[in-house]
Amino acid sequence: MSGPLVDDAVHEKIMAAAEEIKAWGEAAERDARDLVNQPTINNWLEAMGLESERFYQGEAPPSMAQVWTMYGQGGKHPDRDPLHAMMNVLTDAGFHGVLGTNSEQTYDRYLRVGEQVRVTTALDSVVGPKSTGMGVGYFVTSRSTWYVGEERVASMLFRVLKFIPKGGTA
């Protein structure tokens, strides 16, 4: 029962879509567009204000794991990308606000220059509706895992709140 926060029919449609998308499993799998490379590492270090000789000698900072598989400016995600698919469901239901809430990252090992990284992504959970200081919404959690070959090198749970700003309706 969704209670008075969101119309029951809207809530049921959202949760049905969430179950369908979760059933895709790790449907979104893609290779990084570039190999791990020193110029990108150098740019990252400069942007983050980091200084470490280690990262000028063929290893990438662990916090860069996601960088290698980002879509880039103007990049398009596939239709079966679980996080984007769920966000579209919520947008279509009137939940237009987005707020990143947290991520939990695990690094199994450092990446090395020349390695090809790939990522898989799955929808982990959709929880709501919840009344928050921002408005009523759903917490959407995705799970991404990065690999080099068959070796897991990093993982992340990423949670966002997709909400209707206070005073809005769905």
Give 129-149 pLDDT, tens digit per residue: 999 988 999 999 999 999 999
Rounded CA separation 61/69 (Å): 15
Mean pLDDT, range 76-80, rounded to an integer: 81
Rounded CA separation 26/67 (Å): 19
The pLDDT of residue 80:
85
- For residue 25, name the pLDDT band (cuts at 50, 70, 90): confident
Q: What percentage of residues in the chain have a pLDDT greater than 90?
A: 76
The pLDDT of residue 1:
41
The pLDDT of residue 146:
97
**Domains detected in the chain:** 3-165 (3.10.129.10)
Q: If we measure between CA atoms, which residue out of 36, 106, 24, 28 comes closest to residue 67?
A: 36
**Token pair recorded at residue 94:** 């009137």
Give me the phi and psi of 24, to 5 degrees please. -65, -20
Question: Residue 2 above 50 pLDDT?
Answer: no
Q: Which residue has the higher pLDDT, 168 or 29?
A: 29
Those residues whose C-beta lies under 8 Å from the C-beta of residue 147, and which sit 6 or more positions away, are: 117, 118, 119, 120, 153
Length of the chain: 170
